[in-house]
Amino acid sequence: MMEQLPDLSVQYPLMEHFYTLQGEGFHQGKAAYFLRLAGCDVGCLWCDVKESWDRNAHPQTSIREMLELIASTPAQLVVITGGEPFMYDLTPLIDALHQQGLTVNIETSGAYPVSGNADWICISPKKFKAPLAENLPLAHELKVVIYHKSDFDWAEKHAATINANCKRYLQPEWEKSAEMTPLIIDYIKAHPEWRFSLQMHKYIHVP
């Protein structure tokens, strides 16, 4: 039976796209092509891409067009982010990227059902709209933004439901990094199963 080809005419609201270095988490420092899909109802107060929330404010872009954009670079890794990418069925997009030999990572709040067969799923749970319980065991990476001291308990609550191989990261919220970073360092020293995630891209001034 022949494998069914993904429909390259399927469209998603694409806020922005760029080839850069992954700045956070387990894959920090790797070259990656970012596809930022618009649309999000999680509503983080400290979100640094609030312009991504309105899906209707950004152009519908076909999978075929996205593949052409990526093909103009030597990218081997594609990161689908948002917004909240799992607001949409990502199956045809992920399948098309895989058929091009690309590795696909997803950055999500976990608040919507997982779709497609991504190579790596990073869940960053938000208090504003908590992740679905069934998503946590699927995560390869749990990345918790620390904005307040109470976020350490929030991190442990979700770490209790991840799989044994999932990588755990604590990341200071950018505007409060001076205050939160020393607390995170002390916490990781006391709980060495966690790692520190730094938004490297903001220090080296890349997207």
pLDDT value, residue 1 = 46
For 71-130, write each residue's pLDDT tens digit: 999 999 999 999 999 999 999 999 999 999 999 999 999 999 999 999 999 999 998 899
pLDDT value, residue 84 = 95
pTM for the full model? 0.93
CA separation for the pair 88, 203 (Å, rounded): 32
**Average per-residue pLDDT in the chain?**
94
CA separation for the pair 81, 48 (Å, rounded): 13
For 63-84, write each residue's pLDDT tens digit: 999 999 999 999 999 999 999 9
| Percent of the chain residues topping a pLDDT of 90 | 82
- Higher-confidence residue of 41 and 146: namely 146
For 4-29, write each residue's pLDDT tens digit: 788 999 999 999 999 999 999 999 99
Name the CA dihedral angle for 203, 205, 206, 207, rounded to a multiple of 10 degrees.
90
CA separation for the pair 100, 170 (Å, rounded): 33
Q: Which CATH superfamily is domain 11-204 in?
A: Aldolase class I (3.20.20.70)
Q: Starting at the earlier edge strand, list the strands of the sheet with 103-108.
A: 60-62, 11-21, 31-37, 77-81, 103-108, 120-123, 141-146, 167-172, 194-196
- Name the packing angle between helices 63-71 and 91-99 (round to 10°): 40
Dihedral-angle region of residue 73 (phi above 0 means left; psi in -120 to 50 means alpha; beta otherwise): beta
Q: Over 70: is that where the pLDDT of 144 sits? A: yes
Q: Which amino acid is at 150?
A: S
Q: Over 70: is that where the pLDDT of 139 sits? A: yes
